[in-house]
Structures are given as C-alpha cells and as structure tokens.
A and B are shown apart, each in its own frame.
Chain A
Amino acid sequence: MSDAASVHPYIPNSLPRIKREMLDAIGVAEVDELYAAIPERLRFAGSLDLPEPLRSEYALRRHVEAILDRNESCARTLSFLGGGCWQHYVPAVCDEIANRGEFVTAYYGETYGDHGKLQALFEFASMMGELVELEAVSMPTFDWGSAAATSLCMAARITGRRTAIVPASTGAERRSIIGGYCEPWVDLVTIPFDRASGLLDLDRVREAVSDETACVYFEVPGYLGTIETQAADIAAIAHEADALCVVGVDPISLGVLEAPPRYGADIVCGELQPLGIHMHYGGGLAGFVASPDEERFVAEYPTFLIGIGPTIVEGEYAFGEVVWDRTSYVRRGESKEYTGTTQFLWAIAAGAYLALLGPDGLAELGRGIMERARYGARRLDELPGVRAPALDGPFFKEFVVDFGETGRTVAEINRALRHRGIFGGADLSDEYPELGQCALFCVTEVHTQADIDRLADELAEVLR
C-alpha cells in the first residue's frame, strides 16, 4: 500500500515507515502480535460493514451539510417553543469563549495545567451563588431534571426522611427523570395544581406534608410558565414539618424575581441553558444545585465541587476539588449517587453570560421578557375562541394558550402555522389532558413586536 493510500490526517503514525520503526523498537514483526491477549474465538473476522469513508474533508463536509440542510432551524423560522429548552439570544462573546479550542479540548480538572478552566468554573459557581444568594454551588448536572432529582435525594439524606412532594405542574418529562432516579431512595407524592391559576393549593400542600416529608419541591417559574405567588407560604409549611424547601428556577428570571432563599428555599436547582447557550436540539441543557455552605449540605452533593484556596506563593489562587472523597470516583459501589462527565462547557458559557449582563442587564432583560410575553398573550387573547393566558397566575416568559373554543386541535393549528413558517407553542394536550386543547407559548427577548404581531395575524388566518 502506498503512503498516500494509507495515511490519515488525524493519525500521525499511520505512515508505514513510522510504524515499521515503532514495531522494530518494540521488537514485534506485526501489530497483530500486540493483540495476542485477545483469543482467536473473540476476534471479529472480516471487515465492519460501514459506509465507504469520505476521506477528504471537503467530501465529508458536503455530505454532512447536505443532510443537516434538511433541518429547519429556529434561526430562520419564527419559533414560540419552550417547555424546558428556550430560545434566547446567545451573545457572540459566549460563543467565542465556549468555542475556544483550549476549553473545548480540555477534560478532567487539573490544578496546574487547567488552572484557567478551573477558575472559569469557580467563577461560574460564584456568579450563580450571587444570583441565588447561596454559598455552595455545584458543577453542572446533566439538566434541570437531574439537578432536581439530586436535590430531592440530598434532602432525603439530610433529613433522614424519604418522602418528597412534587407538583403535577412540574412537567411530564422532568417528573419522569426525577421519578426514575429517585425511586430507590425517595417516595414522590404528586400534588395537583389549581386548574384556574396554575398555582398550588396550599391546603393540598398541608395535607401532603407529614413528619415523613424530606422536602417540598416547586418551581419559579414553573413548567407551565406561572410564578408561584405563595412560595413563602409553601416554604413555611415545609419548615413547620422540619422538612426542606427545594426550589427549581430558570436563572434568567433572577434579575427581576427574588433570590429563592429570601422566601424560604433551602436548596435551589435549575437549568443553565437560557444563560448564553444555544438550544442544540436539547443538547444545550445543563443543571445546577445550590445550598447553604454547611457541612450537612456539602457532604451530600454527588457532583464535582471546585474550591478556591492558596498556593505556596502569597496572593496566588489555586483551585481544587472540595471533599473529593464524597464522589463516586472514590466510593464506587458504595456511592449514594454517581457522577461523571456532564456539561461543564456550558458552565463556562453561562459564567461569561452573567459577567456580560451584570445586575442591570439581567434586570432589564427580565423585565423586557415579561413585557413581551404579556404583549404576546394579549394579542393571542384577542383572537376569537382563543384564551391567553389560560392560567390566571402571573407568568414569566411562557404562558398556556387555550384553543378549546376554536374547535381545532393544537396539532392542527401547529401544522397550519408550520406551513406559514412559524413553530407554534408546545402541544400540552397529551401531557395535560385535563387542560384540553392547550399549548405552551414561549416569548423571549428574541421576539420583536413585529414577530408577535405576525404570529397573531397568521393565527387569525389559520383560525378563520
């Protein structure tokens, strides 16, 4: 075989000449001798049945781009989808930083060689700590659902109890993640939400709480967009029973909404994706957990925790793993929860986002989102047979729209909108049959007045 036929640009030692030198140095005639430990009966005979390779970068790019061009992205299509992943503006600086080769190709946190990466991660935790006013913040979990599941398990271990109260308004997918994960450790009690407001019924919370309750979990804003106005009362009910209060948040709301500990949260968790991270077909999700910096909390984190400390040189910072012996890397089969590679790159992007926005930017952004969402609800509510918001609790960026009186299903309406170049709100009719033909619409800072007017106008045509 000629060198040109065998050489591969990603594999320096694919050159036969170099291979020969290396084999000689090892003292074997063929590479196959190095595989002597694998018995013949376990060897794969023949060649894998894979597509012919596209060896030139150009051919590869043409092929993959042609496939991906069959997608219709939210960059070109006006979208009002939310429901756990949201289209926000991603600042160019966030992309620049998250795309740096040094960060993209680094891995495990190493105090010296990766000092810069660890500092960026510590700064992420520090800024999240300011946002939620808590001193202990985890490295990323897989997503909001895994952050909530871990928070509930932590609460169970901290309190020595094994029941957690979760509202039915948490969303089916997130409840599935939480339920499956918690099943061996925490019994979930699902409580209904008020059909009119989307908020919790305090009497139902009181009924559900007992001396077996490890924690009460709720979200601000919730999956259905509503802001739980009774948050302080719910936290008080939990605390009266010596249970913890766990609150899930969309952190982009925290420039305008209160830091959860101020209304009684003990553990805060949530989703980082809104903070300068592209949706990536859901790949942009990453969760976080935060708590007071008390040993009884910190000892129960399964995640990586990065701390700041000194070096032998005065004034120099170093970053290291805090209580590494907690983690499943050490405890193996004795672990309470596993950890591993999750979504750290997004923590770096989220940190950069918070640094860019600052307190004023975040407050302006939050207010603007709320104004646009209200404008959107108002425009849709004007349409015959359409009710928006269909839940009368206050909302942040998402709101439920009821199409029941139009005689059309959400699926039909969304199909028609799609043909007009619009992705309508997420269909809730399977997830919450009790709501009937409802959809969850999301409006953020990416939507101009003209965008929202276009939605309303096209919807009017569709419903005509």
Chain B
Amino acid sequence: MTLRPFHQASWNEPVLLEISSPGERGLLVPEVEDGVRAAAKDPFAGIPDSLRRSEPPALPELSQPQVVRHYLRLSQETLGNDVNIHLGLGTCTMKYSPKVNEELIRSPNVADLHPLQNDETVQGMLEVFYRFERMLCEISGMSRFTFQPAGGSQGVYANARMMRAYHEANGDGDRDEVVTTIFSHPCDGASPATAGFKVITVYAGDRGYAEPDAIKAAVSDRTAGLLITNPEDTGLFNPHIDEIVDIVHDAGGLCHYDQANANGILGITRARDAGFDLCQFNLHKTFSSPHCSMGMPCGAAGVTDKLAPFLPAPTIELDGSRYYLDYDRPQAIGKIRAFHGVPASVVRSYAWVLSLGADGLREVAEVAVLNNNYLATRLSAVDGMEVSFADENSDHRLEQIRYSLAKLQEETGVGTVDVARRTADFGVASYFPSHEPWIVPEPATLEPSESYSKADLDTYAEIMAQISREAREEPETILNAPHRSTIHKMDPAPHDDPELWALTWRAYLRKAGKGRRA
C-alpha cells in the first residue's frame, strides 16, 4: 500500500493582535435611537470614575474579511474528525457526528432558547430531555438520569457528590474514602478528590486489570464508594466486575461505573446488571455529540432508585401530556452546572440513538470492537509494536487498545512521543499515548470507533508500519518530525518555565520582548 503524499495547511498566521490596523471595524453595532438616547440622559451617572474604563482594551482592530480569513485559515490548520482518520485518540471515542444533528441544534428552537423561559414555551426541549432520559435508562438499566453535568469529569463529580449526600442522609457521613483503579480515567480519582474524598488507587494485577482481592484490601468502613472505568483504558474488560461491586457493597460503599468507554458494550452489558448504583455516559463520546475542540459536552449521570432523590434540581417530569421542570427536590445535591447543562448535546444524542434503534446501537458496539481487533491484527505485523499485557492476558480487547512501543524504543531509540509526532506528517493527528502515569512503557492508545472504514484502518496500520521502518532506516526523520505539518518541532521548555511561559500575548510581549512582526 502506498501512502498518499500529504502536507497540512501551513499559513504561518500571525497572532491576531499583531495585525491590528487602528480604526478598522469588523462589526458595527445597532444604533441607539434618538428617543432612547435623549431619555437615558447620561448613562454613566452615578458611576465613579474608578469604574469607568480609563484606557480602551488593546483588542485588535480589523475589518470583517480579515477576521474571517484568519479564522478559516486556523480551521484549515486543525485536523478534526471530519478531516482525518482520528482513531489515534484512544479513550476519546472519536466518531462521526452526523451533520443533520448539527442543523437541528442550530435552529432557533434550540439555539435561541433562554433557560428561564416558562415550561410552557419549551415543551419540545423538555420532551427531548424526557425521551432521551428513558433511552439512557434502558441502555444502562438505571432508573433516572440528569443531563446537568457539562462534561464527563463533571458527571463523575456529580455522582461523587451524590455518594456523599447518600451516606450523610443515612447517618454514614464518616465514609470519606473512595477507591478507583489506575487504568480508570484520571477523573475517577480527581472528581471525588475535588468533592473532598481521600482517594485510594488500586493498581492492576498481572492480567492488566484490578483483581477482586486488591479491591477487598482497599475497602473498609471508611469506604464511601468505588469509581471504576470498564472496559478500562487498556480495552480490557474486567470480568470480575460484579464480584468487585459485591465487595464494595458488602463494605457499605456505593459503586459508580464510568461509562465513558461504553462504545463497545452498547446493548451487550449494562451498568445496573453488574450491580452498579451510579454511572455516567459522555454524550460527546459514545453518543456522537461532537467533541467541539473540548466542549460543548454532556456527562449524563445515571442512578438507581435509592439515589434518585439526590439528583440535582431540576429533573424533567411528565404530568399527563405536559412536561415540567421539578425543582421541589428537598434531598437534591446543589447545582452542579448552571441551568440545564448543555441541552444541544442531548438533542444531538437523542437524534443519533433514534437513527440507530436497538439493533443499530448493538451494531455500533460490534463494529467498534471488530474494527479494534482488526486494527490490532494489522498492527501486530508492525515491528516493535505490541499490545500491552498480551503475554499475560489473551482476551480480545473491546473497543480500544493500549499498545506499547517499548521494543521499538529499545531497538532504535525512537520512542512513542517521536512516533506520535511523526504521524502528523501523514495527515493523521498525533495519537494519544496514555493517561499518566505511564504504566505501559512507551504507550500508544488507539480507538478505531465504528466510524472508520476498513480502508481507513489499513491506511493507519500502513502509516505505523512505515514509521517503524523509518525508525530503523532513518531515525532522524522521526526524531526531527514533523516535516509536513502546520509547524515544525516544538521546543517545549518554555511551557514549564515561569520566566518564559506565556499564556497571553501581553505576557509574551513582556517576556520575549517582541512578536514576530516587530
């Protein structure tokens, strides 16, 4: 297979603040009518000088074509899922976000709704919430969901707060520890830590996942709960998961199932059926709502009946034929996110599930798992690349795999960070090595969701094969990569140095003395 020649857009765009042209305007604001102006008199009356803007902000002054051209060039320098084979972002479930769903949420009937509108004027939105909640209950086995958390980590955080509220309501507020695992998402430790819990992290056993005995050793009468991802970032499904749940329950704790990695198990296995009390789905991952450059996400948080009273207000209820927001929830935890979370994500995901149905969802899961195992078969032929825990655990991985390039690194000196950088020269975004810590040496985590074709997978495997060959034949090509990307190899040193890091243009000008155009 011959890889196509590629070069990413490389516009060398200046930073906007460098190209300001005093006096130019990108937008004219609506004029104030004479009658309004006359009646308003001095709008600043009563405002002391110390609160009046003394110097105009040094924003760029640009006409509209300049702004549009600049941003569209930047968009061309961005490899979203729409333009690249984005399977390198393991744990992120990059998949196709249907265009029709984007059109639906851009309608004024979604985009121009105010969150404090009376329920009677948002019946359509509440109906979508209501219907989609029922869908997620069926998919997970849970009793209720809230869509208020605006992100996966915030969904986990909401569930950690509900754990705490549950124990406090039961006179069990001394439970101040939670247990997670090292291959769970980092937020399964970080979110409960933010909620005030002490976090115990259980490491994986020989087979690549937490063994029941290790969980047993971690729980006590201080245990508020367990927060675990399954399948974990390795793509390994922990077959003892229900046994682990029993251990935590026996100790008096609750169990949260992080379902951010649910793409391979839709319709196959459900959180509630494994005994879990809480779970969360990331609508921007499994449920096809786009990742939007790190937002607008939704971490839909689901609970069983016994935790439902603690869901944050409001919930969406149906009274005959009328939907309404129920704020009368005396045991609810406080607000997690303002208003109703990110409703557009709910609309998109509702439409996505409806386009598939039960059989279609299972097809998504099966093809995601098929794609992953097919890619693994192809990558097993790549010299220096191995599936983590392959010797210790021959189970097929589900929707993703954490590979190791340790062998390549040992034999050639080319490590995973170098290889990831080099992939950018072939038109694919650099892959995600691993969450920290790097338990698997020289890691690469790939997740070829159902959206990629067999030809895409073959292309990706060939890119890795070619880089593996280069590592032996011309390692400098990799070590100095990228060569055909938007920019060349970054010097990362400034970003950890307080004397040099620059989070804004004004900081950069102070520290570097000048911009490129100076």
Contacts and interface: CB of A to CB of B under 8 A. Distances in A.
Residue among A258, A323, A448 with the highest chain B CB neighbour number at 10 A: A258
Interface in A115-149: 115-117, 119-123, 125-131, 133-137, 139-140, 142-146
Given A285-B339, A361-B29, A51 B354 contact: yes
Given A123-B15, A341-B295, A423 B347 contact: no
12 contacts: A14-B367, A35-B369, A41-B242, A115-B486, A126-B16, A142-B151, A281-B117, A325-B496, A332-B189, A340-B151, A359-B57, A370-B43
A229 B46 CA distance: 8
Nearest to B97: A105
Interface stretch (B247-255, B263-271, B300-308, B401-409): B263-271
A100 B500 CA distance: 33
A310 B355 CA distance: 46
A418 B120 contact: yes
Contacts, number: 753
A137 B503 contact: yes
Given A117-B74, A131-B59, A315 B516 contact: yes
Given A11-B364, A316-B12, A323-B501, 8 more contacts: A11-B367, A53-B360, A74-B114, A81-B114, A109-B294, A112-B8, A117-B74, A357-B27
Given A68-B110, A84-B339, A316-B487, A375 B40 contact: yes
B67 interface: yes
B506 A130 contact: yes
B70 to A, nearest CB: 8
B135 interface: yes
A64 interface: yes
Interface string A427-458: 00000000000000000011011001000000
Interface residues of B, number: 222
B15 A126 contact: yes
Contact of A306 (B161, B451, B452, B503): B503
Given A283-B341, A293-B503, A414-B118, A113 B428 contact: yes
Interface string B116-143: 1110111111011001000100110000
A262 B112 contact: no
B172 interface: no
A312 interface: yes
A311 B123 contact: no
A60 B355 contact: yes
A328 B338 CA distance: 22
Given A71-B123, A145-B338, A283-B296, A38 B268 contact: yes
B58 interface: yes
A354 B27 CA distance: 10
A320 B115 contact: no
A25 B59 contact: no
B358 A10 contact: no
B374 A25 contact: yes
B216 interface: no
B345 A295 contact: no
A55 B135 CA distance: 17
B109 interface: yes
A108 B47 CA distance: 43
Contacts of A220: 51
A452 B199 CA distance: 55
A279 B77 contact: no
A5 to B, nearest CB: 10
